[in-house]
Amino acid sequence: MYEQLTAADALEKLGTDRKAGLSAEEAAERLARFGPNAFAEGKKKTLLGMLLAQLRDPMIYILMAAAVVSAVLGEIADTIIILLVVLLNAVIGVVQESKAEKSLEALKKLSSPTALVRRGGRPAEIAAAELVPGDIVILDAGRVVPADLRLIESINLKIEESSLTGESVPADKDAGFVAEGDITLGDRLNMAYMSTSVAYGRGEGVVALTGMDTEIGKIARMINESPEELTPLQKRLADLGKLLGILAVLLCAALFLVALLQGRDLMEMLLTAISLAVAAVPEGLPAVVTIVLALGVQRMVKVGSIVRKLPAVETLGSVSTVCSDKTGTLTQNKMTVTKVWTRGGGTRGVSEMDYAAYKLLVDGFVLCTDAEADAETGVRAGDPTELALVDMGAALSVRKSALCAEMPRVAEQAFDSDRKMMTTVHKRAADARILAFTKGAMDCVIRRCDAILPAKELTDEAAGRPLTPEDVAAIEAAAADMAADALRVLAVAVKTDDGSATEAQLTFVGLVGMIDPPRPEAKAAVEVFRGASVTTVMITGDHRDTAFAIAKELSIATGPEQCITGDELSKMSQEDLNARVPDLRVFARVSPEHKVMIVNAFRSHGQIVSMTGDGVNDAPSLKAADIGVAMGITGTDVAKGAADMVLTDDNFATIKNAIEEGRNIYNNIKKTVLFLLSSNLGEILTMFVAITAGVASPLRAIHILWINLITDSLPALALGADTGDPRIMEELPRNPKDSLFAQGGLATTICYGAIIGAITLAAFAWAPASVLRAAGEALTLANLDAALADPLVYRTAQTYAFTTLAVSQLFNAIGFRNLKRSIFRMNHVENKMMLIAFFIGLALQVAVTELHFLSEAFDTVELSLSEWLKLAALCTAPLWFHELCVLARALRRGGVAAR
């Protein structure tokens, strides 16, 4: 709004005087009315709140109910174990999620701590928080803009706004500019925004907006109001928890119905129901998934990614659209000269130049700058455009410091936005010859020239000739060609000077074209994404032509029709953009609100969206995306605080590695979940079949808890740490709507669960069957139940069932590493954790039966070596089934070897 007012109108509207500023009394009254120039804080999560959030889970509710019933029935050991499981899950979750949001704190750090103002007619340095609308703020190079200002004076003023607008070079400011209608942030030449910094020149402005009303304050509000959304995995696990909860209730109800029909003892059935409820819940699942995600985080660090929020790891595997900021993400955030043109040599790349042949052009551009860049000293300061010119010299082994020593500056005319030129005069130490170099906009420089250097070699002694209309046409055509490639064009001219730095009768030397170039690795990453059916989209505050040129070079876009600007977006509703977005690949001159709108548009088509960025302007969209990715080196603290993941090397290609890891991690989680559920299904079938058949319970609640927490969880963790599939990026992104049981998951769970249940029941019947055979009696359900009435036989039968169930899970985990590959073709050494888990699990199970104090606690009997060998052979059944499935799949595909 203030950009549409003249400076005088803005001063009048804000009720202030340019020369005197506000009085102390008026400033105090306005501070009370408008509040401090600071950000409002969002409500923070408390430790108790995070702990309670971890307990809001259907699986936890079932366990809590089981603990209460166990306590009422006097089963204190079971109660303690169940409560410890609940507490362990909650603590792990809180520890992983306890990192508080840092976005608003980082925004506070960005706001200027002090400001130079004019109050009561005198300059004063005050805390930025004390600024009020109407204050007159004085700006000069190096200062951070402390609030949103309507500029009232600008003298060669340039402000670095890349973190807010995405512009790769400082913006020229003009206090005399008045906007006609609504325009984007980057085009508001008469405004200076909070948190941006003065790169060059000086100026004055009147405070228009403070605190949460500033542009960066709006970003703070957007971050604060952005809702926390569940990731696909969290949604799947929540659905699974509800399903298991319903299953547990139905099983318990069915069990009581059976008990009534069979005339069983209801208290005994209540204990059995607890065992069944515990069997229905994979107690280790929340902890195992959390730990697997944490292990995934460590793997992500190795590929250059730091994950701030654990569930974001698996979200990466579903990403189908990568929305990337251009400046500093797809590009290097470093203006670079890529082309030069001279009348004698035509257009060339910098790498094709020979310094001796282009000496005058290179010397002129390097000397006519105020930037400093020295690789030896590490000094790098100045305008990005001028730094690009100094870098051009450095690429040709020309150090500015050495050149300045050879040709020291003796006079100058500083750059200003009216002339659009800068002139420096140098006296050569060797022969006292004076040369003046003028650089600036091509059209401005050429108007001051009456000669041109036509020679192929531009040495100090090269002679010029009169400038002709043909020369001017050639210069303009070369500049147009560079501009068509979105290059920023500068010209340089020279004259033998008397030291007065007059900009007339110049001799034209040549042109350079510069751009913030793409990262070398970005194009390869875009190609990999295309092969993985992941769409790359560029979002930037830069101009349309520049954005499209970079997008075309990176193969993100193929035609201008795939580009859209912020002005066009401002005239569209969210629904309009939703309809157009499938055909768009480049968004130029956009504001923070536009970025969120763009992310939401892609999400409206069911896309899982990753947004990458590094600036303050990226923070709301980083938060709105399914997964926000911030740059670790150049990224602002605000961006990092809003992101789910931070790239340690600022490498766009690292996102490709992260998505690949995310896909593999999700596959591992899915394997883990299906493995645990097949184990639990085996437990449920064992219990339910036995009870409905009218025989005693094969397992106690403590047996099931032991299996679920120890012999299941250890190999489950090993599955979660399994090596990845090298061909994973050739597959389509996973459909976020797919359940964990998609693509054969349900059949896998049922089949393996049925086999485990069958061999466990077989083991349970083994002991009473031996007794019946010895007595010469037939094996019937009635005789089986009668044999189990003997406490020793029952205890032995339960030990057999307990051992078979536990050890078969260990063998089952080996096959679950790859359900499509034979175990004889797997590299088992690749997953050392699986080997460790197998032998530790086996040792612990042996300890439960062979160590007296544990056998007493678990009510088991000691087993002989022959019993162990027979049970072990029975426990390998899941692996034989695995091999049959692999063989059947290979035969269906017409092959003999499993792939």
Q: Show which residues are catalytic.
A: 325
Six token digits for residue 703: 């047996």
The whole-angstrom separation of Cα 136 and Cα 387 is 32
The whole-angstrom separation of Cα 820 and Cα 886 is 6
Helix (H, G, I), strand (E, B) or coil at 217: helix
- Residue 258: Cβ-neighbour burial (10 angstroms; 0-12, 13-18, 19+): middle
* Host H or E run for residue 599: helix 592-603
Q: 329 with 652: CB under 8 angstroms? A: yes
Helix (H, G, I), strand (E, B) or coil at 320: coil
Q: 456 with 352: CB under 8 angstroms? A: no
The whole-angstrom separation of Cα 260 and Cα 367 is 98
Alpha helices in 98-157 (DSSP H): 103-110
The whole-angstrom separation of Cα 503 and Cα 526 is 47
Q: What is the residue whose two structure tokens read 């906007």? A: 179
* Host H or E run for residue 577: helix 574-580
The whole-angstrom separation of Cα 530 and Cα 366 is 41
- Residue 780: Cβ-neighbour burial (10 angstroms; 0-12, 13-18, 19+): exposed
Six token digits for residue 156: 């060669």
Residue 352 neighbours by CB under 8 Å, 6+ apart: none
Q: If phi over 0 gives left and psi between -120 and 50 gives alpha, with beta otherwise, what is residue 806?
A: alpha
Return the HEC string of 749-799: HHHHHHHHHHHHHHHHHHHHHHHHHHCCCCCCHHHHHHHCCCHHHHHHHHH
Residue 464 neighbours by CB under 8 Å, 6+ apart: 451, 452, 453, 454, 507, 508
**In the Cβ-directed half-sphere of 360, how many Cα atoms lie within 13 Å?**
30
Residue 321 neighbours by CB under 8 Å, 6+ apart: 534, 535, 537, 602, 607, 608, 609, 610
Return the HEC string of 19-64: CCCECHHHHHHHHHHHCCCCCCCCCCCCHHHHHHHHHCCHHHHHHH
The whole-angstrom separation of Cα 437 and Cα 439 is 7
Return the HEC string of 414-465: EEECCCCEEEEEEECCCCCCEEEEEEECHHHHHHCEEEECCCCCCCCCCCCE
Instruction: Tell me the angle at which helices 215-225 and 103-110 cross, rounded to the nearest 10 degrees.
Output: 170
- Identify the DSSP state of 736: T
Paired strand residues for 587: 539, 564
Amino acid symbol at 510: G
Q: 631 with 699: CB under 8 angstroms? A: no
The whole-angstrom separation of Cα 733 and Cα 529 is 10
The whole-angstrom separation of Cα 681 and Cα 675 is 10
Q: 659 with 530: CB under 8 angstroms? A: no
